Structure 1
């Protein structure tokens, strides 16, 4: 079977008239932080790797058209001749690999993290501490002119096009809805007036670059905020933007302040493809669909079903720059999957760190993390087939070492096998499948069901210990006396029976996972209609902004759960920066009671007695589940070191903080790169 018959829609070229794209993939815009570091070799290496991997059209992270529009102070832009020369290095590198690249122009408006921020009206955003200044007529003219200047500079820098960022609640989007635009002049009031800014920006940018230059407009197809755009308004804007000179209509889903998940792992794949399908036929320019498309089968199906002309994938190209080439070569099983975890990409971005990827630590580190082939192969033993051990084994074997991988379990994956039992974490199935396939392709010797002792490892040149963690025993009085206390491993791995009323001890990531597992029947992530109902998402053709007037409507919880923690802070406070709120909201919708600042007095036959604020309380429960943290399992490492052997200890065996696959995989990759 040839690739073109496997993915005929995805791999078909797209004729834009003055130029054509080699296939229907668009690498969506992502902020990496590389441009701000002024490490232009790294920027060029990052984008050229994706061009070499076969992407049809790359869109850069958002570049500010002026200082007030930057997402944060010092955000990258294109202001000087030196900037243009630096960007030229990037575009040259992409073109050398046969790729095409467009620069996104992003004015954050009231989302800009600075005192300089501007907006149509002086209304503060709920996700920023800074109130914006309302633009006057001269200020509006300046903003439009700055977009046009940025587009012209992008053309000078060798870009094939620009994307005007009109979605996600940034400045252009703020003009479009009454929620943020309360003007009564020519730029406010009627929808024609509110959309004037967007249309004028496109018109002026087109005039600045001439006809033979790609101009993408990223439109908010569904706002997911109160008083968002109606569907008729979205269609009216799409037609006006086409008439103003846009080449391609790209999709944005939801404002950043929306209280609805749009790209997290619990969002079903292609959950929003129906909104682009509704736009098909309304305009004659190509339409791009977006959000939670992470496998060539999914991309092919949304195109085959007529949902769009192109597919935007962003984070999947962090996870695997060779996504398109592997799909084309019939090697889809070798594509490292984006699991939509946000841990190394968006969480890093919003914490001011360099973007990377949990499953691919080389993302944005192409110039300093190199998997160079070895000159002399060593025999390497890796003990533990969880994320840290798997990544070490795959990278080391890929470099040419002779690797043997041991695990006492009968399957690969370690703690990932528990994570994938949790509703909303179905993407972890694909991650374990990929690791399994990568181990097979790398020619690694696998020895499962083996209890490794020091003698097992005699004769190996290098020993890597990735034995993970063991649950920490909180030693609560009475926990062994009544037969009602189990650990998270008993629940997630061994599927022990759990009663109707449950107390979960520990409100870290595992405590939240267990609470979701215990309160959810069928996972809504596997059923788009059910998931939309749970979060109150409707058809934007019936409800303004695509939000149900009745709000979220989840299924009833399957159990009554109380989540307890010792720390006197809000449970879930330390979860991921961009996903923690989703987990907290999910448990609230399931009626989970969450208590911080609890002292565990004793477990009785009736439940658990706690003290909070000096008051004793019995939390009635049939089952108590212990999720009270982890300890490093270092017993084998200690025995080897005592025997005088040199070992490398990584992952949970090294540091047992919250189960952290991101750190474990990164550590494994970096160790294997140096062996």
Structure 2
């Protein structure tokens, strides 16, 4: 195992001595509740992160009044008391705290409305609205250019906010001038078209930021610690480059900034930045360019969730610190576990970005950590009043989470699954999503580390239940694939959810000719004893189980993810979707990337199409009143799942307490499955 040395060296930032090089950046996580309720909830949220061993924690704040925004207020002295409670909670557990100011695209002057504003009223998309609302108007508008008086008022407000930050007990204040927010728009020639002292040259475009820093230092004190977030490049054609950012950093160092976080790109950038397929550490070169230009500490972190990648970035001299957001949401104990050498115990972030997509409507939740944003309700697993015999049926994420929590609460847990390995649908999803394999391996280790009796290759029947006599049965057997009631839906060239799940469970197809059955049995045998998602993904370039031309029926999340995987393997793919929108349930972070990949690969995207027949030549669809043939050699039914009530109905008359969770009760994604297992086990 690689030794983590740089990551746990102390470092000085301004007046602060940090115990390690891991920084938790500020995130928009405040739910739209009454102020006292928000503070009470967030004390638990931030205390858990501080307990986990991170050196410094950021809290996202706003210097202006907004509309149901996900940041904490700093525009009035009344907020100081609540913020002081948060800093105290963080300090109690040995971490430093800083407040970040500047997130968003909007401002409210005096008693006026909340407006989308900018240096010149430029919308890079050419449309009303912003990439994220972040407390802005609910009805999108075009941005309005700021007047000189308004710019001067903003500067004063930032200074007043910094004074409140210090009075609330924060150890530092950070101004964010990145990702396309208001201050960043002043830095870019694409959005700053002003012809006054705030536009034109780089020096003029930086004037607002420098005046803010100066005003903050005047009101919060020159002996305080000040940091700044910059985008290493906006990643937009005609925008600012890494060299420009390096020059900005030099100027900021002279202005008294003590540390710089280097982010990558703007929210508008037509480049995948944080998505699943972007390699970890891909953007560290932007931080390295800034580090060469300054003598103050520089932090990298965009798309770094692995502590080994973080260590490498530091060891190679590309940065002095690493900021980790999603990784610390997935596992707040990451720093402590890494320091103790327990890398295998770190719960891996799978890069689904569900947390980011919830920033406009907190609380945010995590696909692999169901406690996130529920810390105030479930700070720890409390012992059950009575230890019971709990049978969990299904070793997918919902069943595993229910087993984990129930075992920690003192119940006698037996986990059964008919497959030869744990993971449920994650075993299939790991083939299409490179980051899920780590999650499957982690869950397998987790179950085997707890007092859980594991029975694989075991079908749960009423007879087995009579033998085991459980007090509680938790049904997590997964959902049912809906049937497609059209001619040809049971042909040998048609694969459904069950076929693929059975194949990866080590069982061959029971349909098709001798050749197909033989191939499926060989493939199933291979997978049963040698399951390696990356190898299976590579093998998809060949003719089994999908031939050259593939029609995917169902353009939701599962269908889109499969289609992207297949076009990457050189297949000719068509997606057939009955609604008018492909990827309707795909989050905003990934959808545009997938659609771009599919279009560039020449995938045929059929919307408003109803399947009428499947033949050996492909799929016949009805669209716009006419019948068309979508040519295909293989057809995949990728529609959504339905609740699985079969076993629950069989048990209903036996007097056993039964809970149905995960897709078995209500089909969803990993986040929903994990949460249902967590919450159900808490009440057993």
Q: Same fold (TM over 0.5)?
A: yes
CA distance in 2, matches of 1:211, 1:237: 20
What is the CA–CA distance in structure 2 between the aligned matches of 1:227 and 1:600, rounded to whole Å?
Answer: 46
1:198 pairs with 2:209: yes
Asked if 1:59 is matched to 2:70, the reply is no
Q: Which moved more, 1:234-243 or 1:78-87?
A: 78-87
Aligned to 2:624: 613
Distance 1:515 1:477 in 2: 24
Deviates more, 1:283-292 or 1:576-585: 576-585
Out of 660, 663, 675, the position equivalent to 2:672 is 663
The correspondence for 1:23, drawn from 5, 8, 20, is 20
2:134 aligned residue: none
| Alignment equivalent of 1:153, drawn from 144, 157, 164 | 164
- 1:427 is the counterpart of 2:475: no
SS at match of 1:179: coil
Q: Give deviations 1:177-197, integer Å, cap 9, x for gaps.
A: 121110011110112211221
Q: Map 1:556-595; keep pairs closer than 5 Å.
A: 558-567=570-579, 569-595=580-606
Q: Please say which of residues 283-292 and 369-378 is displaced more in the overlay.
A: 369-378
Secondary structure at the counterpart of residue 495 of structure 2: strand
Q: Deviations over 1:400-431 (max 9, x none)?
A: 22211100000010001111101xx2111111
For the pair 1:446 / 2:445, whether they are aligned, the reply is: no
CA distance in structure 2 between the partners assigned to 1:177 and 1:89 by the alignment? 37
Contact map agreement 2:471 2:656 (CA 8 A) in 1: no
Q: Indicate whether 1:102 and 2:110 are aligned.
A: no
Report the more deviating stretch, 591-600 or 238-247. 591-600
Superposed displacement of residue 634, structure 1: 2.4
> 8 Å contact 1:473–1:628 — kept in the other structure?
no
Distance 1:468 1:320 in 2: 26
Who is 2:516 aligned against? none
Q: Distance in 1 between matches of 2:556 and 2:304?
A: 29
Q: Please name the residue that 1:547 is paired with.
A: none
3-state SS of paired residue (1:446):
strand
Report the Cα offset of residue 316 of structure 1.
Answer: 1.2
CA offsets per residue over residues 504-523 of structure 1, 9 Å max, x none? 111111111221121113xx
- Find the aligned partners of 1:410 and 1:160 in 2 and give their Cα distance: 52
Change (3 A) 1:114 1:672: farther
Alignment CA distance shift 1:311-1:414 (3 Å):
same
Residue 373 of structure 2, aligned match among 364, 371, 385: 364
Which structure would you say has the larger RCO, counting Cα contacts within 8 Å and 6 or more residues apart?
A: 1
Answer yes or no: is the 8 Å Cα contact 2:180–2:266 preserved in 1. Answer: yes
Q: What does 1:30-429 align with in structure 2 at a 5 Å threshold?
A: 30-34=27-31, 37-38=34-35, 39=37, 40-61=39-60, 63-67=61-65, 70=66, 76-109=72-105, 115-124=114-123, 126=125, 127-128=129-130, 129-343=140-354, 345-350=355-360, 352-370=361-379, 371-422=381-432, 425-429=433-437
Aligned partner of 1:474 in structure 2 is 484
Check 1:223–1:463 CA distance in 2 against 1; reply closer, same or farther (3 A cut).
same
- In 1, Cα distance between equivalents of 2:161 and 2:362: 26
Query: Is the alpha carbon distance of 1:259 and 1:293 closer, same or farther for their aligned partners in structure 2, counting shifts above 3 Å?
Result: same
Structure 1 residues 486 and 589: CA distance shift in structure 2, 3 A:
same
CA distance in 1, matches of 2:16, 2:584: 49
Offset of 1:111 from its aligned partner? 9.3
Would the alpha carbon gap of residues 365 and 480 (structure 1) be closer, same or farther in structure 2, given more than 3 Å must change?
A: closer
**Unmatched segments (≥5 aa) in structure 1:** 522-557
SS of corresponding position for 2:244: helix
Q: Displacement, 1:232?
A: 2.5
The question of 1:630 aligning with 2:644 is answered no
Offset of 1:375 from its aligned partner?
Answer: 4.2
Please identify, of 184-193 and 125-134, the stretch whose mean Cα deviation from structure 2 is larger: 125-134
Q: Give the match for residue 463 of structure 1.
A: 473
8 A Cα contact 1:36 1:74, kept in partner: no
Deviation at 1:670, TM superposition (A): 0.6
Change (3 A) 1:47 1:290: same
Separation in structure 1 between the aligned mates of residue 391 and residue 103 of structure 2, nearest angstrom: 51
Distance in 1 (CA, whole Å) between partners of 2:71 and 2:28 is 10
Paired residue secondary structure (1:294): coil
CA RMSD of the aligned region, Å?
A: 2.1
